[in-house]
């Protein structure tokens, strides 16, 4: 077996991308990424190379001239550990069920980060930054996946840990199913909503007629409310708008709201998306006219929604008015009003306020994900 590495080789990049489709083509849970999007991410100039000081390298593992594994290594100059030490990342990892393939890929990529990038701390999986995809599923492979959910082969966590990676942080997703479960979560919701209303707060639906300005509002709020998150680095608005674009078709304005305070200032947001995963699966990674027809034919075949985003501004966090909890309750109530009785509360980190709201349901978390860390010697 051999390892080849490259930055901008069209033939090798084509093999790099095709491996994912070959590994997952018979997996009904897999949501194929758009090939055009993957090509764009590794284009010139790549979104991974626009920041001064950025480096990246792609690696493929070959066995009898066949690609059996892949990985990318990234040096993001803005990515720092909480202790201020620079961290490198590895992402786009895929490989057959053979630890020797994973070992050689992980060894080559982490050595490159140490020798070429000067990084002795490596996080993964992370595709350069948190905006372009990160984390690995470690439990929940039997659950129906949703768009944006980390999904991978079940042997990957074992391979990472066997190589020496340890868990840096975990996240959970929990399903709330049925009116009785909704009402159990909502018991304290009416009082909380009444309190914030009395203080002059109101929830405003996402205005699709002002889509561009609403996306700008969301970008500004995300950059403020997520600034303290593990792995957060800034990204430009144009790139954020491109990343957010596919979610446009999953927005029900009543379920994606902005919070405004008594002075009409943006104070926070809470965002749920309609579950369009079945429609996206039918597109098979293409955005051709036929693929789009298949999507529109299937996108409304589910009643599940995904509670994906929520946050408040730093100024609002200082006020401690309970706005984040109230926004969550508001969206749940709107979901019930619109006939939805299945919500996935997605990707909750340790310490997320929603975990406290869900109480005993956290013990029934159906899915778990991890970001791993390795100290390279």
Residue 71: CATH number of its domain:
3.40.630.30
Is the bond preceding 19 in cis, omega lying within 30 degrees of 0?
no
Same-domain pairing of 245 and 129: no
| pLDDT tens-digit map of 76-135 | 999 998 888 899 999 999 999 999 999 999 999 999 999 999 999 999 999 999 999 999
- For residues 54 and 75, membership in a common domain is answered with yes
Beta carbons of 121 and 371 less than 8 angstroms apart:
no
- Residue 316, in any domain of the structure: yes
| Residue 315, helix vs strand vs coil | helix
Domain check: are 86 and 108 in the same one?
yes
| Residue 133 · residue 47 · CB < 8 Å | no
Instruction: State whether 164 and 190 are in the same domain.
Output: no
Return the pLDDT at 83.
Answer: 84
Over the stretch 276-326, which tens digit does the pLDDT of each residue have? 999 999 999 999 999 999 999 887 767 899 999 899 999 999 999 999 999
Residue 218 belongs to domain with CATH number: 3.40.630
**What residues does 311 pair with on adjacent strands?**
269
Following DSSP, what letter does each residue of 347-358 receive, concatenated?
EEETT-HHHHHH
Range of the structural domain that residue 82 is part of: 2-170
85 & 207 share domain: no
Looking at the structure, tell me whether residues 136 and 155 fall in a common domain: yes
Highest mean pLDDT among 49-53, 124-128, 301-305, 362-366: 124-128
Domain count of the fold of the chain: 2
Going by pLDDT thresholds of 50, 70 and 90, the confidence category of residue 188 is confident
């Amino acid at each position: 077996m051999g390892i080849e590495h490259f930055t901008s080789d069209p033939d090798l990049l084509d093999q790099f991308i095709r491996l994912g489709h070959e590994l997952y083509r018979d997996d009904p849970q897999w949501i194929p990424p758009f090939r055009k999007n993957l090509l764009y991410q590794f284009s010139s100039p790549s979104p991974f190379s626009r920041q001064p000081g950025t480096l990246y390298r792609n690696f493929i593992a070959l066995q009898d001239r066949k690609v059996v594994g892949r990985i990318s290594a990234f040096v993001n100059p803005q990515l720092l550990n909480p202790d201020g030490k620079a961290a490198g990342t590895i992402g786009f990892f895929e490989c057959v069920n053979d630890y020797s393939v994973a070992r050689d890929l992980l060894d080559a990529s982490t050595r490159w980060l140490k020798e070429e990038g000067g990084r002795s701390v490596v996080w993964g999986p992370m595709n350069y930054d948190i905006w372009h995809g990160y984390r690995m599923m470690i439990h929940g492979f039997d659950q129906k996946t949703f768009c944006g959910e980390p999904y991978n082969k079940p042997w990957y966590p074992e391979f990472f840990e066997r190589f020496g990676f340890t868990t840096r942080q975990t996240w959970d997703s929990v399903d709330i199913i049925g009116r009785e479960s909704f009402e159990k979560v909502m018991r304290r919701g009416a009082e909380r909503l009444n309190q914030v209303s009395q203080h002059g707060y109101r929830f405003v639906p996402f205005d699709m007629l002002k889509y561009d300005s609403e996306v700008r509002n969301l970008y500004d709020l995300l950059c403020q409310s997520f600034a303290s998150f593990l792995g957060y680095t800034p990204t430009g608005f144009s790139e954020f708008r491109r990343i957010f674009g596919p979610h446009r078709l999953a927005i029900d304005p009543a379920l994606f709201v902005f919070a405004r305070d008594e002075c009409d200032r943006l104070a926070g947001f809470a965002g749920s998306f309609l579950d369009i995963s079945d429609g996206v699966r039918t597109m098979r990674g293409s955005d051709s006219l036929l693929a789009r027809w298949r999507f529109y034919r299937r996108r409304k075949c589910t009643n599940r929604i995904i509670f994906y985003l929520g946050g408040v501004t730093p100024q609002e966090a200082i006020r401690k008015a309970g706005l984040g909890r109230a926004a969550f309750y508001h969206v749940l109530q709107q979901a019930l009003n619109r006939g939805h009785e299945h919500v996935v509360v997605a990707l909750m980190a340790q310490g997320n306020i929603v975990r406290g709201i869900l109480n005993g349901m956290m013990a029934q978390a159906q899915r778990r994900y991890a970001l791993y860390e390795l100290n390279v010697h």
